[in-house]
Amino acid sequence: MSTRVFGEPIRRLEDPRLLKGKALFVDDVDFPDLLHVAFVRSSFAHGKIRSVDVDAARARDGVVAVMTAEDLGDYWSPGPLLVPPPPIKDIEFNNRTQVPLAKGKVRHVGEPVAIIVAESRYLAEDARDDVFVDIEPLDPAVDLEASAAADAPKVHDDLASNVAARVRQDKGDYEKAKAAAAHVVSGRFFYDHGASAPMENRGIVARWDDRSDRLTVWDTTQAPIPLRSGLAGLLGLAEAQVRVVAPFIGGGFGPKIMMFYPDEVLIPWLALKLGRPVKWIEDREESFFSTTQERSQIHHAEMAIDEEGRILGVKDHFLHDTGAYAPYGLTVPINSQCTLLGCYRVPAYSSSFEAIYTNLPIVTPFRGAGRQHGVFVMERLLDLAAAKLGIDPVGIRRRNVLTPEEFPHKHGLIYQDFTELEYDSGNYPEALEKAATEIGFATFRSNEQPQMRADGRLVGIGLVTYVEGTGIGPYEGARVTLESDGTVNVATGVGTQGQGHFTSFAQVVAEQLGVEVAKVRVTTGDTDQFHWGTGTFASRGAVVAGNACHAAALEVRRKILDLASQQFEAAVEDLELLDGEVRVKGVPDRAMTLGELAVLANPMRGAVIPGTEPGLESSRYFGPDRGTTASGVHAMIVEVDPATFEVEIKRYVVVHDCGIVINPLILEGQIVGGVAQGIGNAFYEKLAFDEDGQLLNASFMDYLLPTSTDVPKIESHHIETPSPLNPLGVKGAGEAGAIPVGALFAQAIEDALRPLVPDLTIAEIPLSPDRLFELVHGTGSDENSGGGSQ
């Protein structure tokens, strides 16, 4: 066999298990004496809790316990702030985090008020109807702009207003840039993101074992290790007494990294208290309230350009809806603020935002994590500028993208990882031209579009760019062990939710050790196997954990070669690792299997030489100084039905650059899947809250996810600009696909509708057919649109 496995489209090792229905998901964990949980949740967005009567529920057969906030005693406390505010000058941050069960007040629909434990889930749900919660409704803060006003109902009574944070970051002197500008374009931009809606809802099972004095928790978390440390602290246990397992997870996309959801605080505690294993599995309706989501931002932004369309400066102020609590700090709005600059040279930037508490479910990162919002604003401003100058979308971007000579490129802002935002590498002009060529931008505009328009068809083309800061620190680790049967064990702390880590990490390790990929067994997300690390977020698995696997594999390789060189009395340079053997080059019969070598490295007799370790094993860590920046260009052709305003995607082209590719099959899957979520966000998915903060579409019947007939064939192309920030040269790819889709839709649809409304500016996402109809016919509310130029 060839030993070249890194970079190959290798079939996933984890698939057979999943395909046979044998993979363990959290809801598959079962015990004979298992107890089941249902939550009683607030049906009001905002209100004073007058009383919670649980007597009838407690009396019901099969109910084991019912608890309210009062019953938790000292255990009741607000959750931890996961990400403190970044070190930005004059930042204001008013920290309020979620509570395990509401006390005194409810702050969003679905906030848990009581927890019921029963012999079956059916019984627990029956008992839910027995609980009487008396709530005095208060005016809710729902609309983002209204919630920001001084006289808005206050989500947290002890704060001066609903402002969760105020942040301002400046680069250069925008006012000076504006004074020198030939044109200034501006607009009000509304961008709404939705529910991550993984097919598997969240869930948790906890079991205390008296005989070993240990707690085991199975959780659909993206961050098993921090969860373990936190739980140990909460429950007064040593970390070594707590094992957290994140088994196969049915999709995460961000909200499963949130930590200390009320259920995560309560279920392990109940397992200890009741001495029986306890399980809670979220149902789909609950997930729209009890799992975090992303929502809207409203930007007022302007861009100063010179006569040629070169950006002189950008100014932006925005409001960010953070929901009832802000446990994730400012990650989402900081991402919006920093990602807005995109692939472009922006000499002056003045950006400020206010994060606002509202009586709505909590906002934390969901694939893209605020980057969409920023990219939308920047791309729309560029389109306004292009229109002003009479140049096309490709032309204006050509003038402004950074060239390869400009890397590394410092933006002078503080990013979500608290370091100064600096792009490490990229080739933006090449990606731009490639996308323009692949979609046939020029010929579409000059030939096809005029013809189709003459036939009365509404067809449009769009092209946008984006960057994605990926692979941030602090660190991840991996342990690589060569077993005596010649197989290799890899353990790492990151959890996996479908990203193919079992295969890509195996490829990284197999490459160094010269074994078949199938001989490498990867374990992720089990703190008994590896307990250092943070989690799977910010498109960092392949970058940070991947490089840790690489470092550990290199060290094991070195140990193998050292030992073999003693055995063969040959120089290390004369040895090779191939097909699971170590050989003296050119002397085929002087070879030994890696298994035999592993046995030698763990002798039954004799002493281990001081300063050495037994076995062929190594644990290594990788902590990048800063994140690495991936980038790309998306282009599409759409057709709008003039009667129904249904939008059909005729073609969709992606050119993506995430550095060196470990497995192109997996990468492609990530990109296409991301685009599909972007399409949902741009077009179908809207969390429709009414003025009372009630969600009107909390089911898959009403909250529409894209289906196979909605997502077109995605033509994807890659260019590879290695990252200089890590030995493998990789960049993250998890979120990229989803980021620019909204901006692209707006541009392409605007272009398609031009024959109907020549000066239409689309300044909002999502765009449903009925919203497009309103925009074209000038009916309905126009409060979420309104780009313009001056």
Partner 1 sequence: MNGRARRGSAESRHLLSDFLRHELGLTGTHVGCEHGVCGACTVLINGEAVRSCLVFAVQCEGAEVTTVEGLAAEDGELHPLQEAFQAAHALQCGFCTPGFLMSLLPFLEERRDSGALTDDEIRDALGGNLCRCTGYQNIVEAVRLAHTKMSGGAGNSAGNSVGTSTGNSAGTCAAEGA
Q: In the complex with ligand FES, which residue's Cβ is closer, 78 or 251?
A: 251
Residue range at the interface with partner 1 (CB under 8 A); choices 73-81, 133-141, 185-193, 703-711: 703-711
Cβ of residue 28: shortest distance to ligand FES, in angstroms? 15
Q: Tell me which residues in 86-125 interact with partner 1 (CB under 8 A).
A: 122
Q: Are 194 and 287 in contact (CB under 8 A)?
A: no
Residue reference for tokens 């939705």: 194
- Nearer Cβ to ligand FES (499/629): 499
Taking the complex as a whole, the smallest distance from the CB of residue 4 to partner 1 amounts, in Å, to: 8
Quick note: the x/- pattern for partner 1 over 462-491, rule CB under 8 A, is -------------------------x----
Distance CA 425, CA 404 (A): 7
Cβ proximity to partner 1: between 21 and 610 the closer is 21
Sites for partner 1 among residues 244-263 (CB under 8 A): 245-251, 253
Q: Which is nearer to ligand FES, 196 or 716 (CB)?
A: 196
Cα–Cα distance, 111 to 46 (Å, whole number): 10
Among candidate residues 36, 56, 43, 68, the one with its CA nearest the CA of residue 127 = 56
Nearest to 544 by CA among 505, 506, 486: 505
Closest CA to 758 of 395, 464, 389, 387: 387
523 binds, among ligand FES, partner 1, none (CB under 5 to 8 A by kind): partner 1
Strand order through the sheet with 458-470: 458-470, 628-640, 647-657, 714-718
Residue 549 buriedness (CB in 10 A; 0-12 / 13-18 / 19+):
buried
CA distance 409 to 346: 11
Using CA atoms, how far apart are residues 342 and 378, in angstroms rounded to an integer?
A: 8
Please tell me the count of residues contacting partner 1 according to CB under 8 A: 81
198 near partner 1 (CB under 8 A) = yes
Least distance from partner 1 to the Cβ atom of residue 524, Å: 8
647 belongs to the binding site for partner 1 (CB under 8 A): no
Distances (CA, A) of 777 to 693, 759, 771: 29, 13, 10
Residue 284 CB, nearest approach to partner 1 (Å)? 4
Give the residues lining the site for ligand FES (CB under 6 A).
199, 251, 498
Q: How far is the CB of 664 from partner 1 (least distance, A)?
A: 10
DSSP SS3 for 579: coil
Pick what 410 binds: ligand FES, partner 1, none; C-beta below 5 to 8 Å, kind-dependent.
Answer: none
CA neighbor of 117 nearest in space, from 222, 240, 11, 266: 266
Label residue 516 exposed, middle or buried (CB < 10 Å: 0-12, 13-18, 19+). Answer: middle
> 3-class SS at 421?
strand
DSSP 201: P
Residues 512-571 within binding reach of partner 1 (CB under 8 A): 516-523, 525-526
- Tell me, residue by residue from 24 to 53, as one string, x for binding to partner 1 by CB under 8 A and - for no binding: xx-xx-x-----------------------
Angstrom distance (rounded) from CA 258 to CA 729: 29
Picked from partner 1, ligand FES, none, the partner binding residue 526 (CB below 5 to 8 A depending on kind) is: partner 1
Q: Is 688 in the site for partner 1 (CB under 8 A)?
A: no
Closer to ligand FES by CB, 592 or 672: give it.
672
For ligand FES, give the closer residue by CB, 498 or 659. 498
Contact 602, 611 (CB under 8 A): no
The one among 2, 779, 781, 790 contacting partner 1 by CB under 8 A: 2
CB of 246: closest distance to ligand FES in angstroms?
15
Binding partner 1 (rule: CB under 8 A), the pick from 284, 411, 445, 590 is: 284
Look at residue 278 and give its three-state secondary structure.
strand
Nearer to ligand FES by Cβ, of 23 and 578: the residue is 23
Q: To the nearest whole angstrom, how small is the minimum distance from the Cβ of residue 739 to partner 1?
A: 15
CB of 656 to ligand FES, least distance (A): 20
Measured from the CB of residue 527, what is the shortest distance to partner 1 in angstroms?
11
Torsions phi, psi for 743 (to 5 deg)? -60, -40
Q: What is the CA radius of gyration of the chain?
A: 28
- For the chain, give the longest Cα–Cα distance: 88
CA 89 to chain centre: 27
Q: Which of 402, 676 has the CB closer to ligand FES?
A: 676
Report the alpha-carbon distance of residue 98 to residue 675 in Å, rounded. 32
Q: Whose structure tokens read 């900081």?
A: 334
Using rule CB under 8 A, residue 506 touches partner 1 = yes
- To the nearest 5 percent, what fractions of the chain are helix, strand and coil? 30, 25, 40
Nearer to partner 1, 709 or 790 (CB): 709
Kind plus residue range of the DSSP H or E element containing 171: strand 163-171
- Supply the minimum distance, in Å, between the C-beta of residue 222 and partner 1: 12
Which residue, 251 or 664, has its beta carbon nearer to ligand FES?
251
Contact code string over 663-682 relative to partner 1, x by CB under 8 A: --xx-xxx-xxxxxx-----
Min CB(251)–ligand FES separation in Å: 5
Rounded Cα–Cα distance for residues 719 and 601 (Å): 43
Q: Does 12 bind partner 1 (CB under 8 A)?
A: yes
CB 281, min distance to ligand FES, A: 12
393 touches, from ligand FES, partner 1, none (C-beta below 5 to 8 Å by class): none
Interface residue with partner 1 among 605, 701, 759, 778 (CB under 8 A) is 701
Work out which of 39, 208, 218, 353 binds partner 1, going by CB under 8 A: 218
DSSP state of 362: P
- φ/ψ of 57, rounded to 5, equals -65, -40
| Burial class (CB within 10 angstroms; exposed 0-12, middle 13-18, buried 19+) of 310 | middle
Q: Which of 162, 449, 499, 631 binds partner 1 (CB under 8 A)?
A: 499
Of 86 and 247, the one with the shorter C-beta distance to ligand FES is: 247
Residue 19 lies near partner 1 (rule: CB under 8 A): yes
